[in-house]
Amino acid sequence: MRLRGTVMLEVAGHPEWWCAALAAADGPLELRVGEPRKRRGRGWLRDRGFHHVPDAWSLPLAAGVGAGQCASTLTDALTEALGADLSPGLRRVLAHPGVADGELPPADAPHAEHLGAALRALALAGKGRVDVSGGRPAELWAIVWALDGALQVEPEVGSEDVWHEPLSLDGAAAVARALGERVADRAAEPLFLEYLAGESA
């Protein structure tokens, strides 16, 4: 929640038993767990509001849900749906902040302001990428790379509609404006941002 990004955990020695928490830039949350091996586990997840997404099950939550409730929900999903044994302990696999560095906008700021902050930080970092997702459950909307002195924008995964802007604050502002216009009709949907340091296309 503090990162406004993504944290993923797995049971030590059992990468198939994993869970993740995603915190949207504007406050809502999403919890995810891996694929259950048994049909009963899938039914357990469906009965509790989880949705199937690629390679995972997702539970969208409103802003303001506490960390304790999130932890309890993930624990139950791991043990009841996935049949996980938590005794080896959980280890953190990744922690990706929503913004590379710097001050975060208020949660109630417009999507364009959140995008602007994330892309300014990416330009200043000069490396890595920002994944832009949204919806309930979240789906990937765009990827912005800091690559070879430029910002490379993929508005949709696999799309040929890729464009470049200078790797600068002005370039970041231009990308933020363009993406803000593209998602303007999704202003009511949660916006998830994830900065991955050192990633290359």
**What pLDDT does 51 receive?**
95
Cα 150 from Cα 180, distance rounded (Å): 19
Which residues on neighbouring strands pair with residue 31, listed in sequence order?
21, 59
3-state SS assignment for residue 65 = coil
At 194 the pLDDT is: 96
Say if pTM beats, i.e. exceeds, 0.85.
Answer: yes
- Tell me the CA distances in angstroms from 55 to 36, 58, 107, 133, 163, one per residue in order: 10, 10, 29, 16, 29
Residue 187 confidence (pLDDT): 84
Q: Which regions in the chain score pLDDT beneath 50?
A: none
Q: How far is CA 198 from the centre of its chain?
A: 17
Q: Domain ranges in the chain? A: 6-95, 97-196
| pLDDT of amino acid 200 | 56
What pLDDT shows up at residue 117? Answer: 95
